[in-house]
Structure 1
C-alpha cells in the first residue's frame, strides 16, 4: 500500500538524549498522556553520563503499556542520534522532539493531521514558553514573530527538530541529518532545505505546541546565537540560495549580521578623512533602525520586553557577525571535508 494514502499513519516519536535527567521523565509522562498515543517511542541515549538510559528503563517498567525502544551509543551529537533512532523506528511517520520539551496533550495529533494530504512530507510544530526570565520571554517572542512569517505561506522550507515530523520513507530517501553538525546548530534546517530543494512540501502546524526551556541568561542566549551563526556557513555552502531567503529567518536579521561584520573594518575609515567617522556611525545607525520593526511588534505583546529589545538585537547583530566570521575563517566554505552532505547513506 502507498504509505501516503494509508488512512492512519503510524507514528514513532524519536527523542535524542544527552544527560537529560528528570526532564526525560516529564517528557515521557507527557507523551504517554497524548490524545493520540505514539505507536512507539524511541529514546536514543547519546553517551549520557547521568544514567539517562536507566531513567528511561525505570520509566518503561512503570509504563509497560507503552512501546519504548532504548538505544545507547557513544556520544556522536543529536544529528547522529536522530538518524540512529529513525533507523530503529517502525512508524510511517517519524516525529522528533527534544528531551527538554513538554508537549501539550494534543501535540502528536496536531503533528500527524497535516499528513492527511499525501503531498505533505514534513511538519513543523511550535514553541511555547512559561519561563519567568526576561531573556527567555524575549527569545519566545523572537520565535513567535518568525511564526507570523510562516503562517503567511502555504508551505515552508525550514523545520526545527524540537517539534518536527517527516514521512520516514522520505527521511531515508533524502539521507537524514548531516552528521558533521556536532551540536544542535543547524542540521535540522539543512535537512529541510534539502527537501525543499527537491520540491517537496512541508507545512507549519501552529497549534502543535511544546513547552521549551529557552536560554535564561543573556550569556546563554548570545552563546546560542554565536554557534548558530558559525554553523550557518556550512548550511549556506550547501544551500546558497537560502542565504537570501527562507521561510523562517527575517531578512532584517541577515542584514544586521552583514552590517555587524562591516562595522569593524569600517573603523579604518576614521583616520583616512575628516568624515571617516561617519562610516562606522552610519553602520551603527542602520543596525539600530533595523531593530525597530521587531521592537514595535514586540511592544504589542509586552512593553517591558520592548524596552530592552533594541539593545538585545544590537548585541545579537555583533555576536552573529563574529560567529559567522569565525566559521568563515575556519574554512567551512572551502574545506574538502565539508563538501556535499555527510549522512549514514552517503
Structure 2
C-alpha cells in the first residue's frame, strides 16, 4: 500500500496551476496510489479542487511543510501504509513514478529512496539546476552506493522507518528539514537512489533575466537553514558527498 503526501501552501494563481498540473500527473500513474493526502497548510489564497481522488486535510494555522508532512505521515500510518512517498505541489510526476519508487522499496534493503529530479523549465537557470543537481540529492562518497541525503520533493520511506523518523518541525520553511531527516534516518537505515523514478520541478522562471532574483532568493533560503542543520549534525563537518546529475546518476553495483 503506497500513500502520497503533499504539503501545500498556496500563495498565487501560479501555485494553483502547478498544483492542478501535479494532480493530473498523479491521476495518470500506471500504478495508482492507495491514498493521496494534500495537507493544506493554512494558505492565504482561496481555491477549490476539481479532483476527488485525494483527501484534502486543511490546517487552521500555518506550521510549515515539516509539520504538514508529519500530519500526513500520522494519517498514513493509521492506514497501515507500507510505503510513504512525498512530493511538492510544483512538481510533475513521471507516469511510472509511484511504480518505480514502491518497487525499489519493496525489492531492496534500503529504508528510504530518492528519485531523479529534472527542471521543468528551459531557461539557463533551469539548466544550471540540472547540472548542479540542486534538487537531485547527493551521493555518499566515496562508494556512491547510497545517498547522503535526498530532497523531500522526490522521496519515499518504508513505514518502519517513518514510525521512527519524522520531520523536525523547528524548521519553519521548506529548507533544511529534509537534510535533517535524512541525516537522522541514516543513523539506522540507508537511503537508496532510483534513477528511473523521475519527476520535474518547476522553479517558476519566466526567463533567465527576470528569474535571476528568484534564483538568488532560493539559495538564500537554503542557506538560512544551515545553522539549525549544523547544530544537530556534526557529521556535516567530515562527511563527503557529491550532487547527483545526469552524468553520474547511474552507478555500478548499486
Shared fold (TM-score, shorter chain, > 0.5): yes
The answer for the alignment partner of 2:250 in structure 1 is none
1:232 aligns to 2:219 (yes or no):
no
TM-score (norm 2): 0.84
User: 3-state DSSP class of the match of 2:131?
Assistant: helix
- Computing the radius of gyration from Cα coordinates, the structure with the larger value is 1
Q: Give 2:55's match in structure 1, choosing from 69, 74, 96.
A: 69
Q: Which has the higher contact order (CA 8 A, sep 6+)?
A: 2
Alignment CA distance shift 1:204-1:133 (3 Å): same
Aligned counterpart for 1:79 among listed residues 60, 66, 86: 66
1:13 aligns with 2:8: no
| CA RMSD between the two structures | 2.5
Q: Distance in 2 between matches of 1:30 and 1:221?
A: 26
Q: Deviation string for 1:211-253 (max 9, x for gaps)? A: 1112632222222112212211211111111233243459xxx
Change (3 A) 1:95 1:11: same
SS at match of 1:29: helix
Q: Does 1:194 align with 2:184?
A: yes
**Structure with greater helix percent:** 1
Instruction: Mark the CA change 1:246 to 1:166 in structure 2 (over 3 Å): closer, same or farther.
Output: farther
Unaligned runs of 5+ in 1: 1-9, 61-65, 251-293, 299-346
Equivalent residue for 1:155, pick from 146, 151, 154: 146
Q: What is the rounded CA distance, in whole Å, between the counterparts of 2:28 and 2:240 in structure 1?
A: 35
Q: Which runs of 5+ in 2 are unaligned?
A: 206-210, 248-254
What's the offset of the Cα at 1:145? 11
- Answer yes or no: is 1:180 the counterpart of 2:170: yes
Deviations 1:13-70 (A, max 9, x none): 0011111312212111111111111011001001112234x32xx321xxxxx3x211
| Aligned equivalents of 1:232, 1:148: Cα separation in 2 | 16
Normalized per residue, the structure richer in strand is 2
What TM-score do you get using the length of structure 1 for normalisation? 0.62
Structure 1 residue 132 and structure 2 residue 122: aligned? yes
> Structure 2: how far apart are the matches of 1:209 and 1:120?
18
Give the 5 Å matches for 1:196-235.
196-198=186-188, 200-214=189-203, 216=205, 217-235=211-229
Question: Contact 2:114/2:156 (CA < 8 Å) preserved in 1?
Answer: yes
Contact persistence 1:42–1:71 (CA under 8 A) = yes
